[in-house]
Amino acid sequence: MLVVIVSGALLALAVVLCVVWSRERLVEPALPGPASDAAGSASAPTAPRLRRHLDGLRLYAWWVSMFLVAATASTLLVTGAGGRLAMRLLALTSPEATGRLTEASATVGEITFEGTLGFLVFGALPFAFASTALYLLVAPWLPPGRLAGPTFGLAVFVIVSPFIDPLRSDNVDFDIVGPGWLSVLVFAALAVVQGAFLAAFAGRLSRSLPLMTRANWADTVLPLVLGVVLWPLGAILAVGALVTFSLPRLLPWFLGVRASRAGVIVGRVLLVLGVVAALPAFAASVVSIWGR
């Protein structure tokens, strides 16, 4: 019961933040120009070059911090809490399934700490981190205004859910718990909330998260500690840091292309094509699950 209460409170907080911060939009940082004191130093020929490499690393650290904080928040408040509530709701509407094992070897009707932790690590966390990375990539391609987040959530839901989860039609869990139409509606609602939360939270965070400097490094390095806790992901991000330091112009170039007029047009076309290509499989999964 405690897990259900906490999950409900966390999901309610996520919905409140979606409403309060619904006007927030992702604000990308701009790197300052070369340091004015570099020209007068003894190492003037090499100082601008070093500064360029460090600026590239600072920009990378900002994006990594955005990614880690937003993904962790959405894991706890939406995909984790919301997913746990969805599972509990479907268990309550299927009392005859109590005691049966799901595809993930969980027992229907039982809420345990081990089961909740396993769901967070192997279910909620991967989806939250993947969707956060994708949102930060496609944010300029989404429609302006409050529809950006929900549009993103629904698009990802259509493209991903029939092939991976949560609407994979060959998932035997839909034969155990249900009804199927409720499963479809619940997971669709969670996808919308996830998209809306990412847009609101990332937008708000982007306005309050500064680029790292000598004066604020102690504060700005704190979000990067999450990469140490999640060390497999941290190792990948560390490789990205080495690439960024070696090629400091690569990340600014990519970000500029992605947000340019041509980049936005191409990105929106790719999103539409992805949704259209996935629609047949999505419709087939919904029809299969809805009637169970």
68-101 pLDDT tens trace: 999 999 999 999 999 989 988 888 888 787 777 7
Render pLDDT for 24-52 as a digit per residue (tens, 0 to 9): 999 998 765 544 334 444 444 455 666 77
How high is the pLDDT of residue 170?
A: 86
How high is the pLDDT of residue 92?
A: 86
Whether 86 is covered by a domain: the verdict is yes
Between 71 and 222, whose confidence is greater? Answer: 71
The Cα–Cα gap between 189 and 175 comes to 21
Domain residues for the domain of 210 are 2-22+49-290
Whether 38 is covered by a domain: the verdict is no
Whether 73 is covered by a domain: the verdict is yes
How high is the pLDDT of residue 176?
A: 84
Whether 104 is covered by a domain: the verdict is yes
Please name which of 75, 274, 287 lies closest in space to residue 158, comparing C-alpha atoms. Answer: 274
230 exposed, middle or buried (CB, 10 Å; 0-12, 13-18, 19+)? middle
How high is the pLDDT of residue 41?
A: 41
Q: For residue 162, count other CB atoms closer than 10 A to its CB.
A: 23
Q: Is the dihedral of CA 72, 76, 77, 80 positive or negative?
A: positive
Helix (H, G, I), strand (E, B) or coil at 101: strand
Structural domain count of the chain = 1
How high is the pLDDT of residue 72?
A: 95
Whether 279 is covered by a domain: the verdict is yes
| Least confident stretch, 54-58, 96-100, 118-122, 200-204 | 96-100
Whole-model pTM: value is: 0.89
The Cα–Cα gap between 72 and 128 comes to 8
Whether 36 is covered by a domain: the verdict is no
| Residues 68 and 223 sit within 8 Å (Cβ to Cβ) | yes
The Cα–Cα gap between 180 and 289 comes to 5
Whether 44 is covered by a domain: the verdict is no
Whether 152 is covered by a domain: the verdict is yes
